[in-house]
Amino acid sequence: MTKSVLISGGAGFIGSHLVDRLLRRSDLDRLLVVDNFWTGLRRNLSHIDDPRLRIVECDVERFRSDDRFDEILHMASPASPPWYMREPVRTIKANVGGALNLLDKLAPGGRISFASTSEVYGDPLISPQPESYRGAVDCTGPRSSYDESKRCTESLLFECHRTQGIDVRIVRLFNVYGPRTRPDDGRAVSNFLSQALTTGRLTVYGDGTQSRSWGYVDDIVDALERYFWLDPVDYCGPLNIGNDREIAVIDIARYIAQLIPGVEIDICPPIPQDPTNRRPDLALCRRILPGWEARIGYEQGIARTLDWFRAQVEHGADTHAPGPVRL
């Protein structure tokens, strides 16, 4: 049976890689991208020439259609702190309002998949973080529009599953990086690369010992396509997906400085409520998706991302690196 699929946020960084994977499916009849191009870019999809793809420019929470979709992937939301902190209400609408609206567009027996985040763990008091960890989130803090709207959307979808039997898939993604990140995205890897290529200096906030677990986008999308549609899995989530190799921010900065001769590192005051550590417990992921691993180490992944950023600079794309908030 052929499938009609809707992806919100399909012009974004991860969403556009998922669109590429979805279009490899022989059972896919049509694919609708709903995106308002807030943080996404048209050029992320401009390489595609496939009659099954249609792009609608629209806020997902306001999207209207009489069509019903067999599969819906809800990816619409900024992922980067400077973007969601600038427009917190819009962020909440994208996540919660988007999910409420998309539930109405699901065909009977359809599946809705959602990209939640490791931010639901807040500034975690245990490491690594398993899915059972309930987190340390500040609902009054500057990150709350993102963290709490992801938590609320998880709650909405799990409750729809529990009370109505709706088929849901919820992943908690840890930091993802790679080609098609906006140069002005504002998180560490993209910031460092944009800054290094355009100014020859890169900025580390705090002492740089705060750690992250960076997953290269190809690895992460491998896991997403298996969990969202390829593997016959009977588990609705939550499922941590990421790379469990934890690296200090300063080590990433030093690695990039070493790849681009002459680059210097500036140390600036820390960012408010910047989580001190972040590392996924992947035991469940390894059981649900046997054989999957994040195989691309940060050295190789950053080198590939640097090549892509360089090509952007050469093609004259805007590579402005933004101000002092990143994750």
Ligand X SMILES: NC(=O)c1ccc[n+]([C@@H]2O[C@H](COP(=O)([O-])OP(=O)(O)OC[C@H]3O[C@@H](n4cnc5c(N)ncnc54)[C@H](O)[C@@H]3O)[C@@H](O)[C@H]2O)c1
Return residues touching ligand X (CB under 6 A).
8-9, 11-15, 34-40, 59-61, 75-79, 94, 98, 115, 117, 173, 175-176
> Nearer to ligand X by C-beta: 79 or 106?
79
Give yes or no for a contact between 99 and 73, defined as CB atoms under 8 angstroms apart.
Answer: no
Q: Please, what is the minimum distance in Å from the beta carbon of residue 20 to ligand X? A: 13
Q: Please, what is the minimum distance in Å from the beta carbon of residue 216 to ligand X? A: 11
Cα(267)–Cα(117) distance, integer angstroms: 28
Q: Please, what is the minimum distance in Å from the beta carbon of residue 50 to ligand X? A: 18
Q: Please, what is the minimum distance in Å from the beta carbon of residue 68 to ligand X? A: 19
Q: Tell me: cis bond preceding 128? Omega within 30 of 0 counts.
A: yes
Which positions ≥6 away from 134 have C-beta within 8 Å?
none
> Nearer to ligand X by C-beta: 94 or 289?
94
DSSP 314: H
> Nearer to ligand X by C-beta: 56 or 250?
56
Cα(123)–Cα(137) distance, integer angstroms: 7
> Nearer to ligand X by C-beta: 111 or 212?
212
Classify the C-alpha dihedral 97-24-79-323 as positive or negative: negative
Residue 205 annotated in active site: no
In the three-class reduction of DSSP (H, G, I as helix; E, B as strand; rest coil), residue 258 is classed as helix
Which positions ≥6 away from 307 have C-beta within 8 Å?
none
> Nearer to ligand X by C-beta: 190 or 195?
190
Give yes or no for a contact between 32 and 56, defined as CB atoms under 8 angstroms apart.
Answer: yes
Q: Please, what is the minimum distance in Å from the beta carbon of residue 273 to ligand X? A: 17
- The single residue of 84, 121, 133, 146 carrying the catalytic annotation is 146
Give yes or no for a contact between 279 and 244, defined as CB atoms under 8 angstroms apart.
Answer: yes
Which tokens in the block code for residue 228? 């969202």
Q: How many helices (H) and strands (E) does the chain have?
A: 10, 13
Which residues lie across from 114 on neighbouring strands? 74, 170
Catalytic residues: 146
